[in-house]
Chains A and B, each alone.
Chain A
Amino acid sequence: MFNIAYPFAAIIGQDRLKRALILNAVNPAVGGVLIRGEKGTAKSTAVRALAAVLPRIKVVKGCPYACDPDQPWNLCPYCRHHLDRLPSAVRRVRVVTLPLNATEDRVAGGIDFSRAVKTGRRIFQPGLLAQAHRGILYVDEVNLLDDHLVDIILDAAASGRNLVEREGISYIHPCQFILVGTMNPEEGELRPQLLDRFGLCVEIVAEADIGQRAALMQLREAYDTDPQGFSQRFQPENDKIANEIQAACQLLPNVSFPPHLRTLVSEICIENHVAGHRADLVIEQAARALAALLKHHEVTVDDIREVASLALVHRQRHLAPPPPPPEPDHDHQPRPDHQPEQNLESNESPRPDQPESQAGSRNPEPEEISPDDQAALDRPAQDQHRRENAVEQIFAVGETFKVKKIASPRDRIRRRGSGRRSRTRIAQKQGRYVKSTTVLNTGDIALDATLRAAAPYQRQRTSGNGLAVVLKPEDLREKIREKRIGNFLLFLVDASGSMGARGRMTASKGAIMSLLLDAYQKRDRIAMVSFRHQEAVVNLPPTASIELAAHLLQEMPVGGRTPLSAGLAKTYELIRNYLLRECAGRPIVIIITDGKANVALGQEKPKAEALALAGRLSRDERLHCLVVDTESRGLVQFGLARELAAALQAEYFRIEDLKADTLVNIVKENVK
């Protein structure tokens, strides 16, 4: 490497991180480590520094797959044919970096272009997975890694070998690697399957101790001014760590694991409600590595206790996980339509048949009542007139949370744009080059694939113009590009007086804010429409500035009657304009309301009119609707929002259903 890495020994603090990395170096069976933490906490520095202290291993000299000559059952095809004479060499375990923009052919391997041209034969050129065999595969910002690469890695990690079937090549080679990833959770979470692949997980934070911070600054500055001198200064300490690791590696096969401790391990796992059995195995291997590191011949209870926390962080689940969200209820029985439309608040008819979802582990209502809401509570909700004349109120934004995944379904239509929400094929010559195809229609030629396709035939083809490669039309390949695009999210917010009651608006604002945060992470465009009194207003025309929306939301007043149909009509207008411009667009409309319409646009009854409008909106298949019901859970429920959702063919959520499953629950669902 041309950059001198920061020495491992010079990293201050972060003991758990260093411990986790060293355990992996000692015992590859630990299965990797995921490092989660805020920016600037030496995540990447530590992994890169690790390369210099890794143990030495015996490999077949010159073998690109780093085969182990002592394991004749686990060799690459070439070494298997030359079993009798395998020259061996000793070198350090390698750290192979997988850049985020890697293409499939370089990760899995593919045809060797240069040799194919010269010899006319298809020869396999090993990719990154081959280099990573018996080493460490390191992905910086692993949560940003594209899905198609994640698939390849998961496949190889699960089977321990890499099977390549592409470009007329069929090849298989052993591929066992330690997966090390770093991520900043601010940029989004990891796919559950990939998450489970990491044996250990460390959450790291910055040092809080002033002295440590000062020392850290000085060391870093010393390194930046003179990297070479700095790393020489730390060489002896680094070597000491390297020797400890090497010694532990040799001791490892002799470390025994007392059988009675296996019960302890499984007890710990059960206690922590761990999903699956990988945790048990990881704990056992990590405990053995730790014992070897401490020069013990037998694993002790303390070893297990120490490594358990590392292995359980990302697998643990809470005792009372929130209930799974109820399925959007499209076919629930229609309600008898006899209620007086103007005075819904005073309607007392209890509805025992209301499909009531089980109460979650927490009920947001009682603890979120602010003084403002108390005032709202005190007002007699029944009195329609007083409510209308009441001074408009501005409620605080309630607690925010992580929103569950909302995206439009994947399809094959090519689109333009950028963002991170929905995955789509992309028509412009941008986006990530995923793979190539023989179907030609965009003119976006995949040169590498074209050349590889033509390469084996070059000896038969001759050119008159002095070029080494002759291309024929049948060689042509085009790029398939893919990227996530942001969606257009339209928030339709009910700002009528009924929303002010019982702290609903606070909770609703919290929910909207959460959705906005989510939209921010996914780089969506948003618009906001609110309705109250007699009309609906476009508060925010379509924009990418979520900050603006957040400000508006904070200042949004509440009061007056509920012109739901006006809101829906305005939405229809905006969406229609949007779809005229972007016919492949897939807008998402999020309606936050309790559904208690009481102002009509025309002569019809407000509720019937709203439902009719909703039916019309639902006719466009490109539109995806969500209804967030803000009606508080109590004895009296009208379920009007649910009806609205049914008319819109929308997904129906209560505010608490919107909450995303935590990291832990994602894994749980996956394992099920």
Chain B
Amino acid sequence: MNKRPVYPFVAIVGQDNMKLALILNIINPTLSGVLIRGEKGTAKSTAVRALAEILPAIEVVKDCPFQLSPGEALDVCRACPHIECSRKLLHQEPVETMHRGLRVVELPVGATEDRVVGTLDLEHALKKGEKRMEPGLLAAAHRGLLYVDEVNLLDDHVVDVLLDSAAMGVNTIEREGVSFSHPARFTLVGTMNPEEGELRPQLLDRFGLCVHIEGINDPAARVAIMERRLAFDDHPEDFCARWQDESRDLVEKIARAMELYPQVIIDSPLLYEIASYCLEVGVDGHRGDIIILKAAKTLAAFNGRTEVQKDDVDAAAQLALPHRVRRQPLQDIVVEVDRLRHQKTAQPAAGV
């Protein structure tokens, strides 16, 4: 393997919230993403790139441009440019599949719309005189992670496209003579520096979780960061080998949590607790409730439990609500949700 080694995820110092949010999303892709808000140089990008190494494997049809699992979407296969495998699928013959890790697809800020959603395949049109669609980044990101660095700087019309597919898990193309739709369920991971301007509310809501990170103030931890970084830069292979065991432990823990997740149950008092949490803090819509429930269940699974506890709910709310709390226009995003809840519930009590 001559791939350049990636800084191991487990070797990242601190930033526990961010790491937790990312891991929860791997265990449960329906959490629909993380938004990482923070200053420059706080290991945002490092963490996302490092994720690739600890992602679980999935089964995909070999060379499928849409990352489908066998038989997932025959409608797509019917119009797929890969004639060979689509023929096999439609005749219910076995197709070649392979196992590979989930992919992290990067969406650069300057990406054009046609590359994101897909477009007309020029080569094919010229050679064969037929229209065919060329899949874009959204097709590549299906079942994987779509990573947008500096998501707040993304062009507006690209954001519109993301909104659509992130919400519905389908990418519909009706452009340049091509009419096509294919599944596009991805975990949206975005990083942003709030100083450069805020995100549009609608897009903000599409991120399941939101974490706020800042530089670490503990001198010992800062030293550790420098030491590890230096060690990695000098001998990447050695460094990675040293962290291999911990990495493997984490991968196994994630795999166990994924197995456990369907068995996790939640008591109805806790459901009420979630609902009243959202009502008291003041959240638009129901996505906040749903995400807290999912995150709490995932947390329980990650900790090897099959029952959700009150702590899980509180921790989940910390991750799911900061960007959903109804704000005064132009007010900053709340960082500490639990304190806000105390404030809000304390006020009416004092009044009475």
Q: Pick the residue among A100, A520, A523 that contacts B164 (CB under 8 A).
A: A100
Residues 379-414 of A, flagged 1 when their CB comes within 8 A of B and 0 if not, give 000000000000000000000100000000000000
Q: How large is the interface on B (under 10, 10 to 19, 20 to 34, 35 or more residues)?
A: 35 or more
Interchain pairs with CB closer than 8 A, number:
217
Pick from A205-213, A239-247, A265-273, A630-638 the stretch touching chain B: A205-213
A210 near B275 with CB under 8 A, answer yes
B172 near A41 with CB under 8 A, answer no
A451 near B125 with CB under 8 A, answer yes
Q: Does A144 count as interface, using CB distance less than 8 angstroms?
A: yes
Q: Does B169 count as interface, using CB distance less than 8 angstroms?
A: yes
A493 to B341, CA, bound (A): 37
A400 to B126, CA, bound (A): 57
Q: Pick the residue among B125, B164, B194, B271 that contacts A469 (CB under 8 A).
A: B125
Closest residue of chain B to A484 (Cβ to Cβ) is B156
A513 to B328, CA, bound (A): 12
Contacting residues, chain A, for B289 (C-beta < 8 A) = 213, 216-217
Contacting residues, chain A, for B117 (C-beta < 8 A) = 101
A577 to B76, CA, bound (A): 53
Contacting residues, chain B, for A98 (C-beta < 8 A) = 174
B330 near A517 with CB under 8 A, answer yes
A543 to B330, CA, bound (A): 15
Q: Which 9 A-B pairs have the closest CB atoms?
A: A40-B285, A40-B287, A468-B129, A2-B73, A117-B129, A213-B275, A448-B176, A214-B271, A102-B174
12 contacts across the A-B interface (CB closer than 8 A): A2-B182, A38-B284, A40-B287, A100-B164, A101-B175, A106-B175, A140-B168, A187-B202, A210-B272, A214-B268, A218-B271, A513-B330
B316 CB to closest chain A CB (Å) equals 12
Contacting residues, chain A, for B46 (C-beta < 8 A) = none
Contacting residues, chain B, for A467 (C-beta < 8 A) = 126-127
Pick from A107-115, A351-359, A585-593 the stretch touching chain B: A107-115
Which residues of chain B from 113 to 152 have a CB within 8 Å of any chain A CB? 113-114, 117, 120, 122, 125-131
B198 CB to closest chain A CB (Å) equals 7
A545 touching B197 in the complex, CB below 8 Å, given contacts A214-B274, A429-B112: yes
Closest residue of chain A to B160 (Cβ to Cβ) is A100
A430 near B155 with CB under 8 A, answer yes
A2 near B129 with CB under 8 A, answer no
Which residues of chain B from 96 to 126 have a CB within 8 Å of any chain A CB? 110, 112-114, 117, 120, 122, 125-126
Residues 150-190 of B, flagged 1 when their CB comes within 8 A of A and 0 if not, give 00000111001101100111101111111100110000000
A483 touching B196 in the complex, CB below 8 Å, given contacts A98-B174, A468-B126: no
Q: Does B224 count as interface, using CB distance less than 8 angstroms?
A: no
A110 to B128, CA, bound (A): 20
Contacting residues, chain A, for B202 (C-beta < 8 A) = 39, 141, 184, 186-187
A128 touching B174 in the complex, CB below 8 Å, given contacts A216-B289, A520-B330: yes
Q: Does B200 count as interface, using CB distance less than 8 angstroms?
A: yes
Q: Does A452 count as interface, using CB distance less than 8 angstroms?
A: yes
B177 near A40 with CB under 8 A, answer no
Q: Does A458 count as interface, using CB distance less than 8 angstroms?
A: yes
Which residues of chain A from 636 to 656 have a CB within 8 Å of any chain B CB? none
Q: Does A420 count as interface, using CB distance less than 8 angstroms?
A: yes
B286 CB to closest chain A CB (Å) equals 5
A467 to B155, CA, bound (A): 36
Q: Does A544 count as interface, using CB distance less than 8 angstroms?
A: yes
B174 near A41 with CB under 8 A, answer no
A140 near B167 with CB under 8 A, answer yes
Contacting residues, chain B, for A144 (C-beta < 8 A) = 160
Contacting residues, chain B, for A140 (C-beta < 8 A) = 164, 167-168
Residues 273-293 of B, flagged 1 when their CB comes within 8 A of A and 0 if not, give 011101100011111111001
A37 to B197, CA, bound (A): 24
A469 near B268 with CB under 8 A, answer no
Q: Does A530 count as interface, using CB distance less than 8 angstroms?
A: no
Q: Pick the residue among B130, B168, B176 that contacts A433 (CB under 8 A).
A: B176
Q: Does A72 count as interface, using CB distance less than 8 angstroms?
A: no
A141 near B160 with CB under 8 A, answer yes
B74 CB to closest chain A CB (Å) equals 8
Q: Does A280 count as interface, using CB distance less than 8 angstroms?
A: no
A99 near B168 with CB under 8 A, answer no
Contacting residues, chain A, for B194 (C-beta < 8 A) = 547
A125 to B179, CA, bound (A): 11
Q: Does B238 count as interface, using CB distance less than 8 angstroms?
A: no
Q: Does B93 count as interface, using CB distance less than 8 angstroms?
A: no
Contacting residues, chain B, for A458 (C-beta < 8 A) = 129
Closest residue of chain A to B167 (Cβ to Cβ) is A44
Which residues of chain A from 506 to 524 have a CB within 8 Å of any chain B CB? 513, 516-517, 520, 523
Residues 233-274 of B, flagged 1 when their CB comes within 8 A of A and 0 if not, give 000000000000000000000000000001000001001101
Contacting residues, chain A, for B262 (C-beta < 8 A) = 225
